[in-house]
Structure 1
Amino acid sequence: MTGLLMVGASGLAREATAVAVLLQHDGPLNIVDDNSAVWGTLHGLTPVIGSVDLVTELVDHDVLLTLGKGRHRRRVVVRLEMLGMDPARYISLIHPRIVLPGSCSIGAGSIALDGVVLTADVEVGRHVVLMPQVTLTHGCTVHDYATLCAGVSLGGDVEIGEGAYIGMNATVREGVHIGADAVVGMGAVVLHDVPAGETWAGVPARPIRTGVHL
């Protein structure tokens, strides 16, 4: 590939750009976004060149989804699949200071920013976002489209469901399961399983509402 297309003019796109520069990614860095108001402008130092549909035209570019919410990333993946984009174009973006042990894996399309730690037997799925200083200890599984904000710490054998959102500096006790599309508030201390679709917050974390979709 000769360039990198980031989908979404977001704060995450700025952070991903910084990592791509450190990695000396081949070719130009560009952003696509459906908001026509930002076309032809710079987002940070990166040009916004047009709509998301350009992904299917610039076939010599790698693709990275820089949308902060998992449901938005999931929606774009479906859209691009319907437009015929080859999923092999998705790349993972891993900060160069991260050490990835041989027993750990990070899936295509995922982003891991500076300070992320994976200790042993950690599996991270596709299109996951791991913000700075996230700690994933032994046996953790993070499913596709999940978002772990800065400072999140997971005890051993925690499972994060597809599309779940874990707020900044939240802590999850070992062996706990966070359901699909669940939301954990920032600073929460999660001691028990969180059912799919529920929002929990507090110390210790308790349910505050259900049916929330970020």
Structure 2
Amino acid sequence: MTQILLVAASGLARETLASIRSSRRNSGGDDVVGFLDDDEALHGLVLDGVPVLGGVGVAARRPERLLLCAGQGRGRAALEDRLVKLGVDESRYAVHVHPSVMVGGGSRIGAGSIVLAGSVLTGDVTVGRQTVLMPNTVLTHDDVLGDHVTTAAGVTVAGRVHIGSRSYLGMQASVRQDVRVGRDAVVGMGSVVLHDVPDGQTWAGNPARQLPQNSPLTEGVRS
């Protein structure tokens, strides 16, 4: 059994905790022993039966494996960079894949990534480090997701799509085959992406088009 610390006592952390517990009921496996969060008001509290053991820096002094649970990719990237400076390397990170997930042949999932229930990686899919696939994400053949990507529930990606690091795809968004979504891009919920999305842009609609940088869709996604 692998003991895990969830870094950031966030909504994603609670979802990940529930997924790990569900996995244990089905097949045994990992155990979450604590949260780490820099909010001192949380230190010593017990959330969903799991204690908050201290700030993020505590990870460097403990032996457990880690999962970064900041909800957005930039937050996970910042946490990872901070922990590197404290001597935490890639070997410390767990990977969580719910037992209901289908992972096809030739697919690879990077260190620290979290794949929640009902997701499908059909074949030869590459998922980078610290990437989060929320429930019922579908990635089809030869897709490549960079590091710190987030797909919300129900995202569907056709074949040979490249999604850049730290990008966010909203609930029920879909992406056509052979499209590239750039780094730090945002795709709004329910959007249908038919063309390449440049780095740093926000697209939404059916078909998806670029939105202004001050669009409400970008609020909270780029943090």
Please indicate, yes or no, whether the TM-score normalized by the shorter chain is above 0.5: yes
Aligned position for 2:83: 80
User: 1:62, 1:157 → 2: CA distance?
Assistant: 32
- The amino acid that maps onto 1:55 is A
Residue 35 (structure 1) aligned with residue 20 (structure 2): no
The 1-side partners of 2:9 and 2:29 are apart by 19
How many residues matched? 213
| Structure 1 equivalent of residue 20 of structure 2 | 20
Residues 161, 177 of structure 2: 8 Å contact kept:
yes
* Matched-pair contact (CA < 8 Å) for 2:20–2:31: no
Q: How does 1:123-202 map to 2 (within 5 A)?
A: 123-202=126-205
State percent identity of aligned pairs: 46
**Partner amino acid for 1:18?**
A
Q: 1:120 to 1:28 in 2, by over 3 A?
A: closer
More displaced stretch, 110-119 vs 10-19? 10-19
TM-score (norm 2): 0.91
Instruction: Identify unmatched segments of 5+ residues in structure 1.
Output: none
Unaligned runs of 5+ in 2: none
In structure 2, relative to structure 1, the CA distance for the partners of 1:2 and 1:92 (3 Å cut) is: closer
CA distance in 2 between counterparts of 1:124 and 1:28 reads 23
The more displaced of 13-22 and 29-38 is 13-22
TM-score by length of 1: 0.94
Indicate how the Cα distance of structure 1 residues 176 and 3 shifts in structure 2: closer, same or farther if over 3 A, else same: same
Q: Secondary structure at the match of 1:133?
A: coil
**Local SS of the residue matching 2:166:** coil
RMSD (Å), alpha carbons = 1.6
Q: For residues 35-72 of structure 1, what are the alpha-carbon distances to aligned partners after superposition, in whole Å with 9 as ceiling and x for unaligned?
A: 111111122222111100100111x2001101111001
Q: How far does residue 28 in structure 1 lie from its aligned partner after superposition?
A: 4.9
User: Alpha-carbon deviation of 1:2?
Assistant: 5.8
Amino acid at match of 2:13: A
- Which amino acid is 1:83 matched to? L
Structure 1 CA distance for aligned equivalents of residues 181 and 147 of structure 2: 13
Question: Aligned equivalents of 1:25 and 1:85: distance in 2?
Answer: 23
State the AA in 2 paired with 1:93. H
Q: Tell me the distance in 1 between the aligned counterparts of 2:46 and 2:105.
A: 38
Aligned to 1:3: 3
Any idea what SS the aligned residue of 1:5 has?
strand
Match of 2:106 among 87, 100, 103: 103
Aligned to 1:68, the other structure's residue is in SS state coil
1:11-41 CA deviation, whole Å, 9 max, x = no partner? Answer: 1111111222223445552100001111111
Report Cα offsets for 1:185-211 as digits up to 9, x if no partner: 111111110000000111111101248
User: Residues 149 and 100 of structure 1: is their aligned pair in 2 closer, same or farther, counting only changes over 3 Å?
Assistant: same
Equivalent position of 1:113 in the other structure: 116
